[in-house]
Amino acid sequence: MTLNITLQALSDPTRRKILEILKKKDLAAGEIGKNFDITLPSLSHHLNVLKQADLVTCQRRGQEIIYSLNLSVFEEMAEKLVKFFKK
């Protein structure tokens, strides 16, 4: 995943908060939404941006769709950012 797409994804506070929430545990879209004051379609948009950036994955479980952090990409990005910031 490119640094560009990742940083675009991280540049929104709602999306960073979603990631913080998913650090604690995997959650269904609706459960994630309870932490925010936006509609579900808006949340869905943000989840999609995070998915495009490969920062989260999801899988259906019955009626729900469970979102999880994509840990390997998360770590990969940490490395790239540290490199970027190393003078």
Partner DNA sequence: ATATAATTTAGATAGTTGTCTAAATATCTA
Partner DNA sequence: TAGATATTTAGACAACTATCTAAATTATAT
Amino acid at 46: H
Minimum distance, C-beta of residue 62 to its own copies, in the bound complex (Å): 27
**Residue 5 sits in the site that holds DNA (CB under 7 A):** no
Piece in contact with DNA (CB under 7 A), picked from 17-25, 55-63, 72-80: 55-63
d(CA 55, CA 77): 9
Instruction: With beta carbons less than 8 A apart as the criterion, state whether 46 and 12 touch.
Output: yes
Among residues 20, 23, 25, 38, which is the contact residue for DNA, using CB under 7 A?
Answer: 38
From CA 57, how far away is CA 50, in angstroms rounded? 8
Give the binding range for DNA (CB under 7 A) out of 16-24, 40-48, 75-83.
Answer: 40-48
